[in-house]
Chains A and B, each alone.
Chain A
Amino acid sequence: MSEKDIVQRIKDNVERQNDNWRFVMGREVLTKKEILKRIDKDSKFRKILVKMVIDLSIDILSRQSG
């Protein structure tokens, strides 16, 4: 799965959230719309999200194999 595919899955997941849903990074509180906008425009933010998802996958996989 390419980074593009992962980004698309993240966007699909965010789109499924309700309108009151918020993503909080320290002092930054992002709505659904703001996240979807930033994923497209902010490459640093996009990389953070992709890394989070990959790290979670690795975490789950390594615990299953361990």
Chain B
Amino acid sequence: MWLIIRPVFDEVTEITFNEAQDVIDYFTEKGVAYIDLAKEDAVREKVEKVLKETPDINVHHADHGSEDKIWGNDDRPVIDLENVELLRGRAIHNNNCSSAKKLGVEAWKRGCLAFWGYTEVVYFTTDALEEFKEAMNYGLKRRVDGFSWSDCLKKTKERMTELIDALVKAGKALAASCLRHDRDSLVCYNSQPPAEPSCPVRRLSVKVFGANIGWKLTRKFGIAILLFGMGFGIALGKLTHTFWEIGGLQEVFAPQGDYVGYALMLIAFLTLIIDHTEGLRKR
């Protein structure tokens, strides 16, 4: 079952509204159930209500988007970083700008099954509206046909490339340039984790723990690891220094009861880390 969110409040949303109608027509043809929140119904409260009351519903949004939100009919976001948790366990297919950049990453981190969208602003020209409509809806239609999200992404990019070539042949070079731009910023966080992070700490985290865990670790977790490492190092350094003062290196390397205590603390800490990261992996 799908929730269609399609506001109309400017020239662009008139176009995305019609593109969403094409999705609805396909759903009807294939017998897919859907709830249509169109125009003034496409507002935050109504979207949240449907998502809370219908746990297995997926989302298709056709409107403007920003890096960390997707918009509703009343100049307010319908989903942003405040209520992104509502996407847990669902798929969302976006026909909007930039939402895969931050909102998509956050949704994926919180267990969104598939976040389909664009990492950049979407471009198009009005001399090729049919081609853009086909490109924007192609992945969702293939999903309805039963393909995996990974295959949908592959097939959509292939179809977009065919459309680009057709537009070039038809003398619509600017439309083709726009579609090439859109194709390259199209992602689906399910078949592929978010691209390499720009933050060096996050990059390290992804390298050490892998994409599935590294992307989901919080800043607090990183700070806690750092503080523990510093505190543990200082305490152990102080202890070995005391041993050295008492009996030199021989005393430092002698089997001391204190070392057992430190080893137990370290084992307990590592166990907690493993337990936490396993929890993140399953999320």
Contacts and interface: CB of A to CB of B under 8 A. Distances in A.
* Contact-size category for B: 20 to 34
A52 B178 contact: yes
A13 interface: yes
A23 to B, nearest CB: 5
B164 A24 contact: no
A27 B11 CA distance: 9
A56 B174 CA distance: 9
Contact of B174 (A13, A27, A29, A60): A13
A25 B121 contact: yes
Interface in B1-37: 10-12, 15
A8 interface: no
Contact of A23 (B15, B174, B180): B174
A22 B176 CA distance: 14
Contacts of B180: 52, 55-56, 59
B192 interface: no
A59 B167 CA distance: 14
Contacts of A24: 12, 15, 122-126
B161 A63 contact: yes
B173 A56 contact: yes
Contact of B168 (A25, A29, A55, A60): A60
Given A29-B12, A60-B168, A55 B177 contact: yes
Contacts of B97: 26-27
A23 B161 CA distance: 20
Interface in A21-57: 21-27, 29, 52-53, 55-56
B174 A10 contact: yes
Interface in B179-224: 180-181, 184
A60 B183 CA distance: 13
B97 to A, nearest CB: 4
A59 B181 CA distance: 10
Given A21-B126, A24-B124, A14 B11 contact: no
Interface string B112-127: 0000000001111111
B101 interface: no
B94 to A, nearest CB: 13
B166 to A, nearest CB: 12
B64 interface: yes
Given A56-B173, A56-B177, A21 B125 contact: yes
Nearest to B15: A24
B123 A25 contact: yes
Interface of B: 10-12, 15, 64, 97-98, 121-127, 161, 164-165, 168, 173-174, 176-178, 180-181, 184
| Shortest Cβ-Cβ A-B pairs, 7 listed | A52-B177, A26-B121, A22-B126, A56-B177, A26-B97, A56-B180, A24-B124
Interface of A: 10, 13-14, 17, 20-27, 29, 52-53, 55-56, 59-60, 63
26 contacts: A10-B174, A21-B127, A22-B125, A23-B123, A23-B125, A23-B126, A24-B15, A25-B123, A26-B64, A26-B97, A26-B98, A26-B123, A27-B64, A27-B97, A29-B11, A52-B123, A52-B174, A52-B177, A52-B180, A53-B173, A55-B177, A55-B184, A56-B176, A59-B164, A60-B168, A63-B161
